[in-house]
Structure formats: C-alpha cells, structure tokens
Chain A
Amino acid sequence: MKIDSISEDGIARLVDRFYVKVRVDPQLGPIFERVVRGNWDSHLEKMRDFWSSVMLTTGRYKGAPVPAHLRIKDIEPRLFDRWLQLFEETCDELFDGEVAEAFRAKATRIAESLKLALFFRLDRASTREQR
C-alpha cells in the first residue's frame, strides 16, 4: 500500500530508495560517489533532514546548497533533469497521488532554482573572464 501522508518515516524511505537509484545511475552515480566519498550515512542523514525541513518545516537542515553545488566540478544542467526524473519516479513508487505530487512540486522548484543559481552565475562568471 502506498504512503498517504507526509511523515518522517515516508521521508526516510524516499531518501533511502532514491539514493539507491542515484548510486547505480550511469550519469549521476560517478559524480555522487566522487563528492560523497564513502560518507553515505551522513549524506543520507543530511538529506532526510533537508526534506524534513522542506516538507514538515522542522528546520532541522541548515546548510548552503548553492555553494555546495558550485564546488562540484563537471556539474551540468542535464544532471538536474536526470536527478528530478529519478526523484519523481521514486515518489510515484512510494506515495499516493497527492503526497507524491507535493514532493514532486517542491523538488521541481528546488531543482530549477539551483540550476538557475548555478548556471546563471557561471555564465556571469565566464562573461567576466572573457572581458
């Protein structure tokens, strides 16, 4: 039976299942392995805190995702699309319609916003370098 409310338990299951997919994904896997460097337990805990803050407003995650992503070499817009695709797939597997949609809506906004922050800034930075 699919999960029909937003809960810490649901978030934990989403995060665990999603990162299993990420790690075996040919596009995302290698980049995540390189950045996470074996510290998967702490990364998953951080991501549970993040989604708990976003979906349940617990304020448990405190971080700076824009600079964290800016530091990643070879990051590309298409990787955000792939990330979102896997995230949405996982939501649909675990949650019923409305709950899945609530997670998907947040993830879409956040992915788009990170993408803009990263690549708009990189564009600005490279324009400056060319001058």
Chain B
Amino acid sequence: MTFVVKDNCIKCKYMDCVEVCPVDCFYEGENMLVIHPDECIDCGVCEPECPAEAISPDSEPGLEHWLKLNLEYAQVWPNITIKREPPADAKEFDGKPKKLESYFSSQPGQGD
C-alpha cells in the first residue's frame, strides 16, 4: 500500500508534501513529484497537505497507471525533502485537465 502522485501535480509542484513526509519518499522531476511506493509507509500525512489535491492512496480505483509512473520515476529522479518556491505559473495550471499528455516532463528535477 502506498500513496501516489497524480496528474494535477504536473506544472504545479507546490512541494508542501515533502516537508511533512516522515520517510522522505518524494522524488523530483522537472515539473512534478512522485512517491517511491517501496518507501512510502502509507501514513497519509501528505494527502491533505497538497494544495492541488494531487495525492491519493493507491487503493482508489483507476490509479494503476499512476502507480507505475510513480515507481518508474522514483528510481531515476533525485530525492527531495526540502520545499522550494513552486513554479511562478503554478496557479494557472492548477486544475487543468489531462496534463500528463500535454505537459509531463520525464527530465529530473534539481532535488535537495
């Protein structure tokens, strides 16, 4: 059991989650974060912290694809535990549909 980061993180990347996570299991891409499913202990602290409501438990139906994406990129992107300023245009992208198809970047972020 794990939590997963979903579509609405893309281009928003508020990063409030990384400060509260007790087990440092967030990894940073260029424009989104992911959770390492093997490190997450399912405590759920991050879920209500996300202003974009982009984190859910993987027990919710229909998240298989996001679980795969989280696992894949958690293994290649750098770890992030310290929050930085979110992108200047984060608010404009908050809530836009289908961001994965239009904006997702597989490039790593800067990490801590």
Contacts and interface: CB of A to CB of B under 8 A. Distances in A.
A57 interface: yes
B19 A59 contact: yes
Interface string A53-91: 110010101111110000000000000000000000000
Contacts of B43: 54, 106, 109-110
Contacts of B2: 113
Interface stretch (A2-10, A18-26, A27-35, A114-122): A114-122
Contacts of A65: 23, 41
Contact of B41 (A57, A59, A110): A110
A112 interface: yes
Given A54-B45, A106-B44, A59 B38 contact: no
Given A109-B1, A109-B44, A112-B42, A64 B20 contact: no
Contacts, number: 52
User: Which DSSP category, helix, strand, loop or mixed, fits chain A's interface?
Assistant: helix
Nearest to A58: B20
B81 interface: yes
Interface in B1-39: 1-2, 19-24, 38-39
Interface residues on B, range: 10 to 19
Closest 6 CB pairs of A and B: A113-B42, A53-B22, A109-B42, A61-B22, A57-B20, A113-B1
Given A57-B49, A110-B43, 8 more contacts: A50-B22, A53-B22, A59-B19, A62-B23, A64-B39, A112-B42, A113-B2, A117-B38
28 contacts: A50-B22, A53-B20, A53-B22, A53-B45, A54-B22, A54-B45, A57-B20, A59-B19, A59-B21, A62-B23, A62-B24, A63-B23, A63-B24, A64-B23, A65-B23, A66-B38, A66-B39, A106-B44, A109-B42, A109-B43, A109-B44, A113-B2, A113-B42, A114-B41, A116-B1, A117-B38, A117-B41, A121-B38
Interface of A: 50, 53-54, 57, 59, 61-66, 106, 109-110, 112-114, 116-117, 121
